[in-house]
Structure formats: structure tokens, C-alpha cells
Structure 1
């Protein structure tokens, strides 16, 4: 098969389109002939060597294609070996593309529980863009964040895959959604997905501005923080509010003053990608709600993966970047 293979860690230029051995079949696993794969920031971290992946290596967590055994159109859940507890993944859990060959290839093999039918109504590129951010967002908002209709939610960032999907999901659920961005065009696009308003998080008084957009200016019921700005996120909450943390693209460490935290009765909740059960919940949610499909910003050919990574790292995209195979 052809695949995007990296022989070393580094910048986008290490991604080379080349021949690679087909994946081996094994009992309980399914081989998928991929037609599209979506990029995630996680892929950039793998490419840079953060996860110490084996070399040579094929990146990629998200994908859509056809099962080679049944010809069924499927999407891939990149959450492997979740385990038996829904509260958190087990010790064997890993993300597809970390230590096993991923989806930047013509073929990929995954456990059978990690393929689900392609949702009706989604194009090929939208289907490829769904699994990682979809199941991550569903778990963050509903399984962990316990978002209810009528609550207010602040989503840090407006343009990334998680942010765009979270905006759509929360609005479809009946929540009052506010986003943050330094780009007014991204805020405008988020409003098209259902956000009620947006604030410029580079402004010195953005927290006060955000709180003013909630009932009585008391603060948000839920903040979705995928960047790592914990101290600011907590300040945006109402008393008893919940902050769900699912990323650290801005900062790897955070400091919180403890007395305001416990007097505010706040909850700080960590989460990551979801389980097969969360994936089932995601698909049912999409069936039962008027949800905007995943936003796809640009597509590239599989052989253009290095250019696609340059685009992803530029931070200029709104939504997902997808490779067509």
C-alpha cells in the first residue's frame, strides 16, 4: 500500500509519501480501506516525538472508508483498548497513530469495536472529521461536563475542531453558547454554528466581558477549556460551576489560588477521548438533534500531508483539515 511514512521526528517535511507493507490481519480486528483521514493537533505532537512512537511510523487517528470484509462504509473510533470502566480508560488504552500505524495510509487495521457505520447524511470528508473530535467533545460536554438544556457554556477558542463541534452540539442541546477568539471572523463563523456571542480573549477585560453575557452576569455553568488557561476559566464560572479541561495547547502547567476555588464550590474535571459507549452516545445524539455536520476547512491529497500539517500549524483554519486518499 501507499502511506505517509515518517522515518524521523521533526517538522512537516519528515512526512514522506511512499510504499509501505500492508497491515497484517488478526482475529478480532478489521481492515479498512481508507478514503479520507482527518488531521488533529495530536498528530503534530506525535510527529514531533512527544509520544515516542516507533520509527518508521504512520500518523493518523481519524479515518473513513470501507471494511474490506463486508464492504460496509465505516468511520474509525481511534480510542483503542478503552477497558471496562466508563469513568476513565484502562492502563492499556492508546490512541490510534501513537504506537500503531494510523490512518495516513490506504489501509489500516483496528479492533472490531473501533469501527462504526458511517453516519447517514455526512459526506466522506465530514465523516472522516467526526470521530476523534466528535467523541472527545461528546464526552467533555455530556458524559463529564453534564451539560443540561438552558445552561450557559463558554468554549475557549472558536476555530478548532473541538471548538466548532462543541459549539454545534451545545447549541443543539439548548444551551446558551459563548466562544472566545482573537479573530472576529472566527467568532462570526461560530455564531453561524449556534453561538450566541463571542469575546476577544486577548483583551485585558475579556473575563468580565464574557461573564456579562450570562444571566445576571453571574458567570457560566460550564467552561470547556481545551487550551490550558485554567485560572482564567475558573474566573468565568458562576458559584458551583464546572470547568472541563481537555487540552494544553497554550500551557502545560497552571496555578490556581485555592481559597477562591473551594469557596466558589467549583469543579475542575479532566477528560480525554471517549469510549465506545461515548461513541454510541455521540451517534444517537446526532440522530436525535439538528446538529451541524463537522466543519471541514480544507482538503489535501494524501501525498500532500506535509502541506496539510503546515496549514494546521499556521492556526488560520476554521474547522478540520482532511486528506483525501
Structure 2
């Protein structure tokens, strides 16, 4: 397929630093992409000339419960989307949502899939539940906000930036909390209420605040560890309050199909921070590394 746009994820930045697990060079990074199919193998002519997005979750396997041992993510070891053209299996393609531009659609795949699985396949969020999403401003967190609102949940967010909190509230969040305040989790309980679901991509010491802000029986889903490991876990709070601690990574083909259906049904538009020319990609990497973005950073030819 000829690529019209691609988008950055944190894994791309970590690969350039050599801190992503199993880095193999040389490699073309990039897990997100949109474009047009320009050549197909025999038997797949129905896809020719169609506008598509790519599912970056490769070789998931047969189980919906977890990925198989051979699972990989597009953009290493398989060559990625920071290119003019790419060859992918037809099974990884999905039609471009009709209400999105190529640049908007390129922002969707990895972050949208990760957010969908965390919210629906793992946490099984329900209408009316209180959901707390940490680290608003990143792609997964913003999709989680949009998807949870589409499902009828009440949503609050955390960030280290007052400006990002304001922008999240403008998108529909009921409240925002600065995680730089040592008592942020108490403020969540007082102003928003104890949470039924938490969607967290940070880990670190802030994870303990999620436990303290949770309703008994709550589901806490973690999909990343940008704040580092958790040094200790208060097991008594976990078992006594019947808390469910759930891990989540990427998603299955069924998750991807359900995610694109949700986006189409509710006409959800990805939040795009910037569109950067591919030749200026280094500046996009710096912006993400410095956590200055609000939404997805898109690369265009």
C-alpha cells in the first residue's frame, strides 16, 4: 500500500534510544498508518485501490484472553510505516472510516486498539460507571476518554499539566486532577467519587493512588509503565476491597474490528496534536519524548 500518513507512538521513541525490549537494527519504525492499496497478491483483488488503515497487532493468535508467543507489533521486527510504501498481509487491513481524513485515520490504530481492549475487553466498562484515566494527553488516554464517554460512562482524568486537564474537560471529562499533588487521590474521591474503573499507562508510585481511590470491586487496568516499576503493593487493600488488577496489551483482531466499528458508529475523531512532514520527523520525536503533545503526532509525506 502507498502510505498517506503515519503516526508516532512511545515505542518509536524508545527504539531510537535503544531501551525498547528486543530492539533489532536496522528497522523502519512506525506502527500506525493509512493509505491506499496499490498492489495485491492473487485472490485479494477486492482490496485493490481501497483506502485503508493497518492493524498493527500482528500474529495475535487464536485466544481472545491473551496474545500468542509469536505476537509482534508492526514497526519491529516487521518493517513499519515511516515510509512511502509498505507490504502487509491483507488480514491486517481495515477500511478507512468514512468520516475521517487520512491523517486522522493514521492516528487511530495502535492507541485506539490499546484503549478499546483496556476499557471493554478487560475492564468491561458499563454505562454510568465512574472511570479515571491517567496521563491525559497521550494517544491511548485520549481514546480511552472518548470511548468511555461514547459508552455512557462518567470520566475523570489526571495529568501533570493544568492546560491538558482543561483541554480534557473541554472534550467531555467531568473533572481533572493534577497527579503532582500528593493528595490527588483524595481529591478524586471528594470531587468525583470512588472509581469503578481505572485505565492507567504509567505504573510507578501513582498506581497506589488508584488503589486508594477505588470503589470496592473496582477494575484497575494497566497497559504501560512510563513512570517505572511499582516498588510495593498494599496487598491487604487489594484483597480486602476485592480489587481486580488487570494487565492489557494491544488487542486481538476482534478487538480491532470492534474498535473501528465504535469509532464509525459514534463518528469519533482522533485528537491530532500536530501534523509534521516526514522530513522533519526528528522534531516530532523530540516533542513526544518531552511529553509536550496533546493527542497523536502524525507524519505526512
Q: Give the TM-score normalised by structure 1.
A: 0.87
CA RMSD of aligned residues (A): 1.2
**What are the ranges of 5 or more consecutive residues in structure 1 without an aligned counterpart?**
1-31
Q: Which residue in 1 is equivalent to 2:59?
A: 81
Q: How does 1:1-325 map to 2 (within 5 A)?
A: 32-49=1-18, 50-69=20-39, 70-214=48-192, 217=193, 219-228=194-203, 229-289=206-266, 291=268, 293-325=269-301
8 Å contact 2:211–2:237 — kept in the other structure?
no
Q: Which residue in 1 is equivalent to 2:45?
A: none
Deviations 1:275-307 (A, max 9, x none): 11101111221233353x111111111111211
Number of aligned pairs?
A: 290
Shift in Å at residue 168 of structure 1? 1.0
Shift in Å at residue 213 of structure 1? 2.9
SS at match of 2:126: coil
8 Å contact 1:246–1:271 — kept in the other structure?
yes
Deviations 1:82-130 (A, max 9, x none): 0000110101000011212101001112221111000111111110000
Moved more, 187-196 or 46-55: 46-55
Q: Give the TM-score normalised by structure 2.
A: 0.93
Q: Distance in 2 between matches of 1:288 and 1:210?
A: 31
- Structure 1 residue ranges, 4+ long, deviating more than 6 angstroms after superposition: none
SS at match of 2:53: strand
Q: Which residue in 1 is equivalent to 2:44?
A: none
